[in-house]
Structure 1
């Protein structure tokens, strides 16, 4: 298995923007990532946090039908992700495997190594460099 990452993709409204969602989830069709788990979280204008399964959305229905393991995203993850959201916004919470790195991860483990860490560098920092 390649490296696995929990990603929060925030949107400025309480409704998902379908073209953006389709573009992100299209990555799994390329085989570069495998979607392991996912939820939609929303923070209402009043600050209430709600979470919903993908199957509650027509555009996301069936994306996790292949899921063999128990869900990985729990209530504590939803709360932590909601802390990143403005009121009146929503987010896709995704657990993805970076399939493209699987061969390297296998070779590292076979050599007695491990993936010891990973840091996501924000696009703003790269642009500034």
Structure 2
């Protein structure tokens, strides 16, 4: 198994954005990542925190299927993610395996090593656009 990451994708208002959802679905279809679990979290305008399964949304229905799915995102994860949201916003909570890194992870473990950490660097902290080379 490759490295696993918990990702929170926030959206303004209490509405998912279809192009972003389609992009996530596209990554799953290409095999770059494996979706292990997911929920939708909402912080209402009144500050209430709500969680919903993907199947409650037409655009997410069927995204979490198959034998590899595990229900690992719990209420404490929802509360922590909701703490990142402004009132009246929602987020996709995703637990993904980075399938592209699986071979390297297997080789590291076979050599007696282990993955001990990972840090996501926000795009605004990277001075060069690695896709174009522009600053």
Q: Same fold (TM over 0.5)?
A: yes
Question: Counterpart in 2 of 1:44?
Answer: 44
Please give the residue correspondences for 1:50-65 in structure 2 after superposition, counting only pairs within 5 Å: 50-65=50-65
Unmatched runs of 5 consecutive residues or more in structure 2: 129-134
Q: If the length of structure 1 is used for normalisation, what is the TM-score?
A: 0.95
- Asked if 1 retains the 8 angstrom alpha-carbon contact of 2:41 and 2:91, the reply is yes
- Per mean C-alpha deviation after superposition, the further-off stretch among 57-66 and 4-13 is 57-66
Q: How many residues align?
A: 129
Q: Which runs of 5+ in 1 are unaligned?
A: none
In structure 2, the partner of 1:74 is 74
Higher mean alpha-carbon deviation, 21-30 vs 91-100, is at: 21-30
Q: 1:126 corresponds to which residue?
A: 126
Q: Partner of 1:27 in structure 2?
A: 27
SS of structure 1 residue aligned to 2:86: coil
Q: Is the 8 A contact 2:37 2:69 kept in 1?
A: no
1:67 positional shift: 4.3
Q: Tell me which moved more, 89-98 or 68-77.
A: 68-77
Q: CA RMSD for the aligned pairs? A: 1.4
Partner of 2:103: 103
